[in-house]
Amino acid sequence: MNPEHFNLSEVVPGVWAAEADLMGASVGNAAIIDAGGKTIVVDTFMTDVAAIELRRTAEALTGNRVYLAVNSHWHDDHTGGNQVFGDVPIVSTTTTMERVLENASGDIADWQSEIDESLLRLEEAVEAGDTTAARRLDGMRHYRDFADNFKLTLPNLLNDGRLVVEGERRVEIETRGKGHTVSDTFVWLPAERIIISGDLCWNGIHPRMHDGFPAAWADYTEALLALDPLHVIPGHGVPGDAGALRDLPDYFRTVETLISEVRAGTDPASIPAPEVSKDWDGLARFHDGLQSLADS
């Protein structure tokens, strides 16, 4: 099985990571769990076209229809494909459901013209020889098609604590409040010691912090580490082990102290990234995130 919009890898028998293409139609990672007759999909990608492929893949791999979908948090690269799961329960926290609703464009025509402007800018950049823009353009074209087909589909099974699915394996869907966003859910498979973290974990990549709470995020990732996972399926980046989480508490505690420096007038671009992140990709997200957190 070789999906077009994501990389599929089997973490343990019956649990798959669907690693997204950050610049394509999927954007944020998802996961598939075969809980023995109960097929669970965690996060639904950015667009319907990627979500359709995710659902088909999940049902082909497990031989069962999807039983439950999960939204780890409100960001559209984890909830955009919800309409493909409109016939099954979609689990999120109450706050996540409210944010998905708030974030939905009230005016589809406005949304489409915003995307058209981005397409125009990207096409100009491609003509000027920008190869990164060429990849972005491909993703944006998928997003434009998605905007034409969009059907707002809200999570409809609200879980503000821990929801347990018992099948051939135990699946715990749990929130401990805010971190990457105002409300984040993770999935824990206690027997296999697998965490599906949503965007609480970005593996080897500077995380997007604009909607985050660095101090709470540090505590949250520390709590995930305390579960002593063998495997971590992150919200972005490749699946890994506990090492994917290990440096995050320190990173977010450092970020928390840097926000006041930016508020005091230091240019975020002049601030070096925390030492633990020296090998990570996406440094611009660190500087943009600092500015955004300082402004909030």
What DSSP string runs through 79-143? HGGGGGGTTS-EEE-HHHHHHHHHHS-S-HHHHHHHHHHHHHHHHHHHHTT-HHHHHHHHHHHHH
Q: Which is nearer to Zn ion, 55 or 75 (CB)?
A: 75
Provide, rounded to whole angstroms, the least separation between the CB of residue 211 and Zn ion. 7
Cα–Cα distance for residue pair 14/32, rounded to 1 Å? 8
Secondary structure class of 48 (helix, strand, coil): helix
Provide, rounded to whole angstroms, the least separation between the CB of residue 102 and Zn ion. 15
Q: Which is nearer to Zn ion, 35 or 91 (CB)?
A: 91
Provide, rounded to whole angstroms, the least separation between the CB of residue 46 and Zn ion. 11
Provide, rounded to whole angstroms, the least separation between the CB of residue 67 and Zn ion. 24
**Phi and psi at residue 165, in whole multiples of 5°?**
-105, 120
Within 8 A by CB and 6+ apart from 141, the residues are: 119
Q: Which is nearer to Zn ion, 73 or 169 (CB)?
A: 73
User: Do residues 213 and 179 touch, judged by C-beta distance below 8 A?
Assistant: yes
Q: Which stretch binds Zn ion (CB under 5 A): 52-60, 125-133, 199-207, 286-294?
A: 199-207
Provide, rounded to whole angstroms, the least separation between the CB of residue 228 and Zn ion. 25
User: Do residues 136 and 184 touch, judged by C-beta distance below 8 A?
Assistant: no
Q: Which is nearer to Zn ion, 75 or 206 (CB)?
A: 75
Quick count: other Cβ atoms within 10 Å of Cβ 56? 13
Judged by CB under 5 A, the chain residues 74 through 93 that form the site for Zn ion are 75
Provide, rounded to whole angstroms, the least separation between the CB of residue 270 and Zn ion. 27
What Cα–Cα distance (Å) separates residue 60 from each residue in 29, 31, 55, 296? 19, 14, 8, 45
Q: Which of 199, 201, 203, 248 binds Zn ion (CB under 5 A)?
A: 199
Quick count: other Cβ atoms within 10 Å of Cβ 106? 7
State the DSSP code for 207: P
Q: Which stretch binds Zn ion (CB under 5 A): 14-22, 68-76, 147-155, 271-279?
A: 68-76
Q: Which stretch binds Zn ion (CB under 5 A): 56-64, 100-108, 193-201, 257-265?
A: 193-201
Number of chain positions touching Zn ion (CB under 5 A): 2
Kindly state whether residue 43 participates in binding Zn ion, applying the rule CB under 5 A.
no
Quick count: other Cβ atoms within 10 Å of Cβ 4? 11
Q: Which is nearer to Zn ion, 25 or 35 (CB)?
A: 25
Cα–Cα distance for residue pair 292/31, rounded to 1 Å? 30
Provide, rounded to whole angstroms, the least separation between the CB of residue 75 and Zn ion. 3
Q: Which is nearer to Zn ion, 41 or 165 (CB)?
A: 41
Q: Which is nearer to Zn ion, 5 or 75 (CB)?
A: 75
Chain positions contacting Zn ion, by CB under 5 A: 75, 199
